[in-house]
């Protein structure tokens, strides 16, 4: 089965190695225990030099989602799964971001289960399936189709740019021009699920076996019998008057020469010559 290559060789190589490292980095780390510091000797007063301004990273993927105002549920889920800080600090990240309407379209029981703190691990895996550890631009997808490794272990997302709109599995990309400083955001209209990955299912649809044509019987139809009142004076084989008579009708036999007309007369079997008529 041939798959179209979506990314350059460098990006594809990065995708193969990055998800495992990303998943490890995304795990919550325990806070280090505070250590006692020896009392410092007061230094002589000096005029402090002006501190150099540290440029803050502006408009990362998380800030871009907040600015749009339609990803409240997604941002809450990322906080709950402890993925917000990781996504904000990664240098190259792509998020296929479901809108609030997409989360609202989930069955209520499924949405409640995902957002339950007791199911944080399931939520984490589900959200990581929306993440690609590379800066994927729309031009890398348009006109191509194939599976791309996600940040969720052993899960590929099928990206299809061969139609009018870019598709991510069965979700449609409704906006692809969100370009934060550390990656890309593709707005989608459905919440993705690795359990229904179209890449895992394959690109080829199974063909249903063709139905065999109905068999035509070559046997001749059976003869039919018709029973009717006997004609006056008819007798049975024993000499007694017959009450009824039975007529056996054989099925018609097709004549292979029916419909054929001889173009020439057979010399061995000439057609009879009509006799001349004598006038009165």
pLDDT for position 273: 62
pLDDT for position 192: 97
Look at residues 231, 192, 6 and name the one whose alpha carbon lies nearest to residue 105. Answer: 192
pLDDT for position 184: 95
Give the tens place of pLDDT for each residue, 21-37. 555 555 555 545 555 55
pLDDT for position 153: 86
Domains of the chain: 9-21+59-190 (2.30.180.10)
3-state secondary structure of 161: strand
Quote the radius of gyration of the chain (alpha carbons, Å): 43
The whole-number mean pLDDT for each consecutive block of 10 residues of the chain, a chain of 280 residues, reads 40 45 53 54 48 50 94 97 95 96 96 94 96 95 95 93 96 93 96 89 42 50 59 61 61 60 60 60
Phi, psi angle pair for 46, to nearest 5°: -135, 155
pLDDT for position 113: 94
pLDDT for position 36: 55
Residue 172 pairs in a beta bridge with 167
Which two three-digit tokens encode residue 12? Answer: 């594809």
- Distance in angstroms (rounded) separating the CA atoms of residues 122 and 101: 21
Tell me, what DSSP letter sits at residue 157? E
pLDDT for position 16: 43
Q: Is 158 exposed, middle or buried (0-12, 13-18, 19+ CB in 10 A)?
A: buried
Question: b vs e for 207-234, b when ≥16 Cβ sit within 10 Å of the residue's Cβ?
Answer: eeeeeeeeeeeeeeeeeeeeeeeeeeee
CB 103 within 8 A of CB 126: no
pLDDT for position 177: 84
Residue 171 pairs in a beta bridge with 168
CB 61 within 8 A of CB 95: yes
Cα atoms in the Cβ-side hemisphere of radius 13 Å centred on 107: 3
């Amino acid at each position: 089965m041939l798959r179209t290559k979506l990314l350059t060789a460098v990006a594809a190589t990065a995708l193969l190695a990055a998800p495992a490292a990303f998943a490890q980095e995304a795990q919550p780390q325990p806070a280090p225990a505070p250590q006692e510091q020896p009392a410092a000797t007061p230094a002589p007063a000096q005029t402090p030099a002006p501190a150099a301004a540290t440029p803050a990273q502006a408009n990362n993927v998380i800030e871009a989602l907040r600015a749009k105002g339609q990803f409240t549920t997604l941002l809450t889920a990322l906080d709950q799964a402890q993925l917000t800080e990781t996504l904000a600090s990664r240098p190259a990240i792509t998020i296929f971001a479901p809108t609030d309407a997409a989360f609202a379209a989930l069955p209520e029981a499924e949405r409640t289960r995902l957002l339950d703190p007791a199911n944080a691990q399931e939520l984490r895996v589900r959200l990581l399936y929306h993440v690609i550890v590379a800066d994927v631009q729309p031009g890398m997808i348009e006109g191509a189709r194939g599976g791309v490794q996600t940040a969720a272990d052993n899960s590929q997302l099928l990206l299809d740019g061969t139609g009018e709109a870019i598709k991510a599995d069965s979700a449609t990309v409704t906006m692809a021009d969100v370009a934060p400083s550390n990656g890309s955001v593709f707005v989608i209209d459905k919440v993705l699920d690795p359990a229904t990955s179209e890449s895992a299912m394959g690109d080829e649809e199974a063909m249903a076996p063709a139905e065999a044509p109905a068999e035509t019987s070559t046997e001749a139809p059976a003869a039919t019998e018709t029973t009717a009142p006997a004609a006056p004076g008819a007798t049975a084989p024993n000499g007694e008057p017959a009450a009824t008579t039975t007529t056996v009708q054989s099925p018609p036999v097709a004549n292979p020469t029916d419909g054929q007309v001889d173009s020439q007369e057979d010399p061995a079997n000439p057609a009879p010559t009509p006799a001349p008529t004598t006038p009165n």
